[in-house]
Amino acid sequence: MTYRFLSPAQSDLAQAMEYYDQASPGLGLEFLTEVERTVQRIVLNPEAWAKGSAHSRRCRTRRFPYGVFYSIHDGDVLVSGVTKGQTRYLNHLQQYFLFPREFLSPVRFVGQGPLSPDAASPR
């Protein structure tokens, strides 16, 4: 199974990494690593986590107080948010249902990037 980060999730991730890096240098990278581990857990068993709505689920990170919100479409995991709570995620959902084309583009395919399940990691 592959996965993609939608643009709102990319923005959430970048903002959280910046916040943690300002709090403590290097902590943003540790946050990214934790999100990467969470996404790997999702890919291994995408239906294991509770539904947040009819089409979405949330898997919490283990170390940070964040959840990775995602849905499953055509065998792909679509990550739509990386947030502390549901309020911001619900805003993403509202945008998706009101403006689905704008929400889904641009979509960055991450399956070949640093979060790839196939990426060699020295960890």
Please indicate, yes or no, if residue 120 is contained in any of the structural domains.
no
Please indicate, yes or no, if residue 114 is contained in any of the structural domains.
no
Please indicate, yes or no, if residue 115 is contained in any of the structural domains.
no
Please indicate, yes or no, if residue 30 is contained in any of the structural domains.
yes
For the chain, the domain total comes to 1
Beta 76-83 vs 108-109: how paired, if at all? unpaired
- Residue 63: CATH number of its domain: 3.30.2310.20
Residue range 63-106, pLDDT digits in tens: 999 999 999 988 899 999 898 865 555 665 555 555 444 444 44
- Length of the chain measured in residues: 123
Boundaries of domain holding 62:
2-109
Distance CA 114, CA 90 (A): 27
User: Are the C-beta atoms of 114 and 29 separated by less than 8 Å?
Assistant: no
Q: What is the mean pLDDT of the chain?
A: 79
Write down the pTM of the prediction: 0.71
Which residues lie closer than 8 Å to 53 by C-beta, 6 or more apart? 93
